[in-house]
């Protein structure tokens, strides 16, 4: 029987994304014309732009990240052989596009793939300080879901994972006020976690696992340190040992806000909740 599924869909989550969504879509279209937008009822010109670019659109009220992703994963599982998931400000580079195409052409569906994401902060690319991170975003249908959690939810696959060469640029078009506001909200969600206890349905910490499992191990280790010390240790580690200072002034701001400020805020909210 002939396979009626289409080869791949690129799924992009949007909400008031008019400033960046065109670049994200144009890069994704180099892989496929099948672009599916899951929008959380944007109030700007996002939907006008994506419809002009001939993308399919679905709308769903935003509850949390895993709810959005798992909803659309299930919708696509019976329609496409592969899924690639992006945020509205994530742009694929040429090497990544080429390697994704090579995997699609091979017709091998034994693996799900981790993609390296390189962030921008205040319109500058961050190269050092451990800023780059890995995310599972490219996978065969019926193999993957997003774990349930308050914050820092990752895609989890029943298949073995492999890294794929190339970069996903996390453009982060927020100004500093918006960045602080969103991280303030995320710190509240993270503060609800009980010292990073991971349920059996979540990715487990493993020192010798894949990039995400290893990061979870380091995060668990981080929480063994006293709350008044660990944000400072994390800042020192990222800024000095992981060479964050080589990014110049922007490297200091990134390490300060993303490590010391954000992590201290989480601990302060845990303290407030407790006492």
Q: Tens of pLDDT along 71-116?
A: 999 999 999 999 999 999 999 999 999 999 999 999 899 999 999 9
What is the reported pLDDT for 97? 98
What is the reported pLDDT for 247? 98
The pTM assigned to this predicted structure is 0.94
Q: Which two tokens stand for residue 113?
A: 């793939």
Give the model confidence (pLDDT) of 167-179 as tens digits. Answer: 999 999 899 999 9
Kindly state whether residues 164 and 180 are assigned to the same domain.
no
At residue 216, φ and ψ (nearest 5 deg) are -65, -35
Kindly state whether residues 108 and 194 are assigned to the same domain.
no
Residue 239 counted as domain residue: yes
Looking at 112, 146, 170, the residue that finishes a domain is 170
Residue 1 counted as domain residue: no
Looking at 149, 170, 191, the residue that finishes a domain is 170
Kindly state whether residues 159 and 186 are assigned to the same domain.
no
Kindly state whether residues 59 and 137 are assigned to the same domain.
yes
Residue 77 counted as domain residue: yes
Residue 152 counted as domain residue: yes
Kindly state whether residues 227 and 147 are assigned to the same domain.
no
What is the reported pLDDT for 2? 57
Burial class of 138 by CB neighbour count within 10 A (0 to 12, 13 to 18, 19+): buried
Kindly state whether residues 245 and 126 are assigned to the same domain.
no
Do residues 65 and 182 lie in contact, with contact meaning Cβ atoms separated by under 8 Å?
no
Kindly state whether residues 189 and 253 are assigned to the same domain.
yes
Give the model confidence (pLDDT) of 218-230 as tens digits. Answer: 999 999 999 999 9
For the chain, the C-alpha Rg in angstroms (whole number) is: 19
Full domain range(s) for residue 245: 176-274
In 183-193, which positions are buried (b, 16+ CB within 10 angstroms) versus exposed (e)?
beebbebbbeb
Residue 73 counted as domain residue: yes
Tally of domains in the chain: 2
What is the reported pLDDT for 1? 46
Pairing of strands 124-125, 111-121: antiparallel
Kindly state whether residues 160 and 191 are assigned to the same domain.
no
Residue 228 counted as domain residue: yes
Strand partners, 125: 120
Q: Give the separation between CA 234 and CA 229, rounded to whole angstroms.
A: 9
Looking at 120, 153, 170, the residue that finishes a domain is 170
Parts of the chain with a pLDDT under 50: 1
Q: Is 159 left (phi over 0), alpha (psi -120 to 50) or beta?
A: beta
Kindly state whether residues 156 and 56 are assigned to the same domain.
yes
Q: Give the separation between CA 144 and CA 168, rounded to whole angstroms.
A: 20
Kindly state whether residues 131 and 225 are assigned to the same domain.
no
Q: Give the separation between CA 240 and CA 180, rounded to whole angstroms.
A: 23
Q: Give the separation between CA 266 and CA 270, rounded to whole angstroms.
A: 6
* CATH number for position 10: 3.90.550.10
Kindly state whether residues 97 and 226 are assigned to the same domain.
no
């Amino acid at each position: 029987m002939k396979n009626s599924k289409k080869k791949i869909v690129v799924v992009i989550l949007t909400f008031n994304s008019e400033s960046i969504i065109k670049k994200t879509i144009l890069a994704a279209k180099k892989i496929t014309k099948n672009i599916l937008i899951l929008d959380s009822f944007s109030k700007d010109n996002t939907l006008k732009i994506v419809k002009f670019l001939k993308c399919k659109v679905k709308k769903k009220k935003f509850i949390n990240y895993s709810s959005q992703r798992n909803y659309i994963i299930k919708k696509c599982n019976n329609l496409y052989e592969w899924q690639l998931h992006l945020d509205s400000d994530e742009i694929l580079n040429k090497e990544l596009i080429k390697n994704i195409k090579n995997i699609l052409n091979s017709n091998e569906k034994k693996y799900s793939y981790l993609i390296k994401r390189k962030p921008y902060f205040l319109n500058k690319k961050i190269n050092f300080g451990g800023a780059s991170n890995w995310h599972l975003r490219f996978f065969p249908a019926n193999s993957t879901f997003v774990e349930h959690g308050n914050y820092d939810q990752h895609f989890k696959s029943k298949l073995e994972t492999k890294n794929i060469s190339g970069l996903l640029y996390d453009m982060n078009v927020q100004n500093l006020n918006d960045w602080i506001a969103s991280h303030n909200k995320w710190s509240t969600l993270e503060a609800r976690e009980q010292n990073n206890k991971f349920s059996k349905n979540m990715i487990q910490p493993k020192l010798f696992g894949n990039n995400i499992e290893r990061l979870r191990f380091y995060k668990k280790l981080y929480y063994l340190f006293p709350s008044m010390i660990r944000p400072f240790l994390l800042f020192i580690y990222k800024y000095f040992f992981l060479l964050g200072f080589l990014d110049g002034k922007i490297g200091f701001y990134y390490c300060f806000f993303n490590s010391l400020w954000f992590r201290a805020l989480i601990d302060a909210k845990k303290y407030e909740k407790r006492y």
